[in-house]
Amino acid sequence: MPTTDPDCLFCKIVAGDIPATIVARTDRAVAFRDIDPKAPTHALVIPAEHHANLAAAAAADPALVGDMVTLAAEVAAQDGVAESGYRLVANTGRDAEQTVFHAHLHVLGGRSLTWPPG
């Protein structure tokens, strides 16, 4: 049985208790549109089980992070940005502006992305 946090927004999305625009799903990860997009393509890829951040997910199950990146690539291809380029962002911790403490990747694309990002 996957680990969940009953107070976690993203765990509630995985469970279907909070609606989201799901764009892709596997048995281990879910991708959905960000409600405040920063680019034409802006989706979040989250693990189905709860991990506080990407580092915790990698420590618990390194293959899970690979599954998340694979799903992010599928989202980029589905949105037509795989060839032109896309960015994966993982904010880890408060100083990195992580606001939901459930591991996630932002998939950003569809426009020229500047560097450095913040």
Report domain extents, the chain.
9-109
Given this model, what pLDDT does residue 63 score? Answer: 97
Which residue out of 42, 51, 102, 104 is catalytically annotated?
Answer: 104
Separation of alpha carbons 90 and 65, rounded Å: 11
Amino acid at residue number 85:
G
- Cis peptide bond upstream of 116, omega within 30: yes
DSSP three-state, residue 104:
coil
What are the mean pLDDT values of the chain's consecutive 10-residue runs (118 residues total)? 84 96 97 97 98 96 97 98 97 95 98 86
Task: Please determine, looking at this structure, whether the domain spanning 9-109 carries the CATH number 3.30.428.10.
Answer: yes
CB 9 within 8 A of CB 100: yes
Would you call 50 a catalytic residue per the annotation?
Answer: no
Nearest to 24 by CA among 102, 113, 107, 109: 107
End-to-end CA distance of the chain: 38
